[in-house]
Amino acid sequence: MCEPCSDVCVNDSKKLWKNGIIPYEFDYKVSEDLIRYVKSAMKEIAKIGSIKFVKRTNQLDYIKIVNGGAYWSYVGKQGGEQELSVTEGWPHPIGSSIHELLHACGMYHEHSRPDRDKYLIVQNGNDNYKKHNSSNVTCFGNYDFESIMHYPLHSRMNLKPGIKKKFEIGQRVKLSKGDIKAINMLYPCLSTESEDNCFKRENRRQYASKTKSRLIQRRKYYRVRVMMRKRNKNKKKKNDFE
């Protein structure tokens, strides 16, 4: 069953990029500024998970980044060449590029989640506002108004009465905690690992983290004991002297 989600993702493994490796190339019409923005967006995504964007050599499945007069992308791997569009004169070009790249990775709009009607009043008009069926998507976490995959509120989409707006909805400044969680749930393994090895590695990582935490707590405990001993010893010396 699909739980309330912080991000809505494809549930068809064929639409995911193998080992999280996404080949790309730029169309010759894309400006140097746009190339710089897109590469910055790629770095932001790559540094928080296992997704790797690599320059295309001879890969058959890849993203071709074009200047199509707007920002748009297909959702997930399509097979063969698939276009992703960026353009000049758009606010937050890096954040907007992150938004489209996450579409290509396999993430839908936050406001398309199956139970979005609990939070929003949406007038359907096109696919950008389409609500997905829970059987067609995979979901993670709680509803995330801060998601970079959420559209801003406007006349066609607004909060339901009783839902308080606590922060900017539709921001394109940074990945939210929910976005980061979804990316790592969607692409959890390193590119050279099998799913089994990835599971073992994750268990080792969690064990190491717990062990480190225990060691830190133990050091704090012994440090306090040593300080108390010294304090008691000093008190004893002082009392003996008096």
Annotated binding site for Zn(2+): 99, 103, 109
Q: What number of other Cβ atoms are within 10 A of residue 118's Cβ? A: 11
**CA–CA separation, 148 vs 170, rounded Å?**
6
Please give the torsion angle defined by the CA atoms of residues 143, 149, 150 and 151, in that order, rounded to the nearest 10 degrees.
-170
Exactly one of 25, 32, 100, 195 is catalytic; which is it? 100
Tokens of 107: 């993430």
Assign 237 to helix, strand or coil: helix
Q: Which two tokens stand for residue 65?
A: 């980044």
Q: Tell how far CA 179 is from the center of its chain.
A: 3
Q: How many residues does the chain have?
A: 242
DSSP-derived letter for residue 22 is: E
Say what angle helices 177-186 and 93-105 make with each other, to 10 degrees: 30
For β-strands 7-10 and 137-140, DSSP reports them as: antiparallel
Rounded to 10 degrees, what is the CA torsion of 165, 170, 175, 177? 30
Instruction: Let me know if 100 is a catalytic residue.
Output: yes
* Tokens encoding 27: 């169309």
Q: Which residues are annotated as a binding site?
A: 99, 103, 109
Instruction: Return the active site residues.
Output: 100
